[in-house]
Each structure stands twice: as C-alpha cells, then as structure tokens.
Chain A
C-alpha cells in the first residue's frame, strides 16, 4: 500500500492519505458494492470499485437449464426492471431460433417496457436525491408513482417485480381490455408527476450546487469506455438502441432522444426526467394503435426448445443502457454459452475517472447518478 501512495501523492507532507472502505454495507452504495477510496483531506485521489458481493452464478445456472427456465432468472438481474430483462433475453432466443412475434405481443412488450422505463427513472431520481440528503420526500413521491406502475404489472403478470412475463415468440398472458383501460387512466398522471417533481427540485439552489460540474464524464471517455444509456446521452452522444436497432416495433413510434452537453450529474438527472416525458409519448401511441390478435407464435415450443446450432446477440435499450444477451446453441435444449452484457456494470467501470479530484461527498452523488443495480453488476 505504502509505495503506491507515494507515487500518487507528489505533494506529500500536505496531509495524510487516508484509505476508506465505503461499503459493502454503506447506504449510499445502492446494494452490496464497495469502493476503496483514498483521500487526501476530503479529495479523492484514488477510487477502486470492488464488486462481486451479489454474485449468484446467473450465467452458469442459465447454461444448465432449459431456454425457458432462464427467463425467471433474468428477472433477478436488474430487479427493478424485470420486463426489459425478459425482453432482452427473449429477443436473443428469438434471433437464435428464428421465431416471429405476433403484432399484439410486440405492442404489449413496448407498453410494459416503457412503463418499466418510467418506474425505473422515477425510482432513480428519488434515490439520487436521497443520496444528496433530500431525505425522504422526493423518494416517497417517486415511489408513490412507481407503485401505480407496479400494481399494473401485478394485475397483468401476477408479480410486482419478478414478472416473468415474456416468452420467446410472444408474451405469457394476454392483457385484458380492462388492463389497457387502467394504463390509459394512469397515463395522464405520469406527466403530472414529472411536473410536480420538476417543480419540487429543478431550480433548487442546493441541488444545482451539488450536481452541476460534479462527476463530469467527457464525450470521448464515454464512447471509449462503452458507456451506454442515459449516461452516454447526458455526455452528448446521440445513441439509443431503440433508434439505432429499431428492435421490436420502435420504428413506428414518434419520440425524441434527449441529449445533454455537460455530462455532469445534473445532466444525467435531467436526462431521466426528460426520458420519462418521452416514455409517456410512446405509451400514448402504443395504446392508441394496439391491435387485437394472438399473443404467441403458434409454432413455438416453450418446453424443450432446440434452436439450431449457432449464435445470436439480442440487445435492447434497457432503462440503464444497452442490455445484451449473447447465446451460443449447440442444438441441445440448453444454451452452450450464455452471456449477459449488463449496462450498469460497464457504466460503473469509469467511476474512478469521474470521481478523481472531487470531494468524498460527491462520490456518493456521482455513484447515484450512474444508476446501478447490483443484481445486474454482479449477476
């Protein structure tokens, strides 16, 4: 430890360097995540993220089970967004096995995925403000809205968070007309919540002082490090897989991609707020256009699916970034190789670059703005 420290600290003698282990049970780390932080006074001179505390062997478990039995495990990757996780996985299997998805199922997928995006962003801004010390109020407002979305998920799929809803070739159960009406009824409340939230804190002087210029991520570094999702767009890069890949039926919807230009915590915070507004637009269009029809490809065999030997990569824009599933099939009932590309882990790798030279209190805020879920980071 000592020889390293001398290299880092050319102005030795000014103060002592202190090593702090933040986490794995620190309330600001959003789960079991540890940061080895070296401080000079209050300034960060080195930060080493340590993960793996929540490792559950997800990939190997999926390789030892049938294609169907991996779907409930994907719920537990990013446990706040089970619907989008399901989608990423079933998209990969559909590519691998060459399955078609009926129209109605595509619309249902878009609706549940966008609701997921909304509730994830609502929760994230609540947690981010909680990290900054806005204790309770914003988080409770965010959770009140999130609860409404989770109630919809429960009445559709049976579970609030571990939905296990999508299947390769469609979705598990059809949504009733009453459920669609419930979503339509909820829709006007969502922009109202965003307005309320913006009113609450957008021009708050303390928030601006804490977030503007904090945790700046440059455009170049964001691209080179493979950062995706709202973090990349906050750095000013126009890259959204919904537009780039047009997976599912996203090319039918009219929506915009919000972009930031400073790449600081404030931009990332606003990015979530603006994306919530765009999400509502997509929901409105999807609810207007949803057709009647089947929800499953009739040819698909859920049990004992044997895709031809080959490989496929399915990726979607999850609320946190590019969520990809890579599958290799050897023609048997379980995947030969199964790999997850988790957005929150890759977004986390540049945490040190964003935190160097900042105060220790800003590390907490910067980490909060990355939007990590440890279930996905550690898998």
Chain B
C-alpha cells in the first residue's frame, strides 16, 4: 500500500517522542549553562604551565629548554630564556623562562608539547569557556596567565597527576640520596687528602646507606 513506509517511519518518531516521557535515557541533551556534563579525565583543551608549592615564579617547573617551542606543529609557543638561573625541585640550578607566551588562538590542542616535555612542566587544561572581546591580547597568554599550581592539576587530572607526582618524588629522593652520597664521598676524599689512615676513609664510605653511586666533584 502506498504510504505504508511513511506510516512506519512516523511510528518510529512517535515511539521516540512519547518514549522520552518514560525513559530518561532517551533524553540525550542537557540545558547547557545551568546543567553540564562532566568532562572525562583525559579531556584536553589548552596547555598551561605547572608550578610546585605556592609561588608561581619560584616553583615554575619549566627550565626553558624550548623543546615544546620547536615541536609545536602550529608554532604557537614563544619562549625567551632567562639570563640567570634558579634552583629546580631537586635543587639543581636551571634556567627559567623569562618570557613564555602561548597564543591560544593559534594553538590546536594537539598535546604534542605535553608529550615532548621532559620536565613535566606543561600540561593540558580543561577550561573551554574562554570567549573574549579582545582577540589579540585576550588570547595571547603570558607566563603568569599560564601558570597553574600542582593542586589544580591534581584536581583536573587526578590519575595522571598521581603518576607524575610519584615519579617526581622518586626522582627527588634519588637526587637527594645522590647528593648525600656525593657529600660523603667528598668528605671521605677530604679525609684521605688530610693524610688520615686509609682504613678510616673506607669505613666512612661503607657507613653510608648508598655508597654505590659516588659522585666525584
């Protein structure tokens, strides 16, 4: 019968329409500004810079190695290296970025900067409500706008942050152990140089918990 196919289709739309009053999962949209879907943990939007502790300047992890600047496909990162150095989280003297700008109107949220960063200094944010009337200045973020604390990172990407923190804690512990070992080795050397009996020096070294990695200074 002509029109049968159309009626069959209309039945389907009617089932969807009336079904939406009964089955909640047929309602697939939400009233956006008031209600929101929760973003999944992996969700990414634009990069930000991480700092440890409370001071964004002192704790900034970036050491200005400029790998991300080189690898960024649309070249939206601009870095200027500092002249002086500041200690990083393990106490080693490192450069820091005097200027670190990201033009988020150019950024294509590809996450390659995060992948290539060897210092866990740059991560992806989840904020997306970023509209601004100032299309040049408002979308060119400098170091201060980009800096976010590690606590914030733990909030938005809990699993990833825990993993990073664990790795960094281990790195720090290793570095400290290394520093202690180095200090001990230096002390032993000094003692040896002071023409003390050699047995003294060896016992001094053996007393240390981690003598396997002596560092000459």
Contacts and interface: CB of A to CB of B under 8 A. Distances in A.
B127 to A, nearest CB: 14
B9 A154 contact: no
B71 A69 contact: yes
B111 interface: yes
User: Which of A66, A156, A303 lies at the interface centre, i.e. has the most chain B CB atoms within 10 A of its CB?
Assistant: A303
Nearest to B10: A200
B110 A302 contact: no
Contact of A158 (B9, B12, B44, B108): B44
A323 interface: no
B8 A199 contact: yes
Contacts of A208: 5
A201 B43 CA distance: 36
Interface in B1-33: 2-6, 8-9, 11-13, 16, 28
A158 B124 contact: yes
Interface residues of B, number: 30
B73 A69 contact: yes
A68 B43 contact: no
Contacts of B16: 141
A199 B71 contact: no
A72 B115 contact: no
B42 A155 contact: yes
A151 B39 CA distance: 9
Interface string A194-221: 0010011111111110000000000000
Interface string A143-159: 01001000100111111
A158 B111 contact: yes
B5 A157 contact: no
A154 B40 contact: yes
Contact of B108 (A66, A72, A200): A72
Given A155-B40, A159-B44, A68 B112 contact: yes
Contacts of B44: 158-159
B202 interface: no
B95 to A, nearest CB: 20
Looking at chain A, what size class is its interface with the partner chain?
35 or more
B73 A159 contact: no
Contacts of B73: 61, 65, 69-70, 72-73
A95 B121 CA distance: 34
A66 B73 CA distance: 8
B42 A173 contact: yes
Interface string B99-112: 00000000011111
Contacts of A196: 12
A205 B6 contact: yes
Contacts of B90: none
A261 to B, nearest CB: 21
A199 B108 contact: no
A164 interface: yes
B71 A155 contact: no
Given A159-B44, A200-B13, A72 B110 contact: yes
24 contacts: A66-B71, A68-B112, A69-B73, A70-B73, A72-B108, A72-B110, A73-B73, A75-B110, A155-B40, A155-B42, A157-B42, A162-B108, A162-B109, A162-B110, A199-B11, A201-B9, A203-B5, A204-B9, A205-B2, A205-B4, A205-B6, A208-B5, A302-B116, A303-B116
Interface of B: 2-6, 8-9, 11-13, 16, 28, 39-44, 67, 71-73, 108-112, 115-116, 124
Interface of A: 61, 65-66, 68-73, 75-76, 137, 141, 144, 147, 151, 154-159, 162, 164, 172-173, 196, 199-208, 302-303
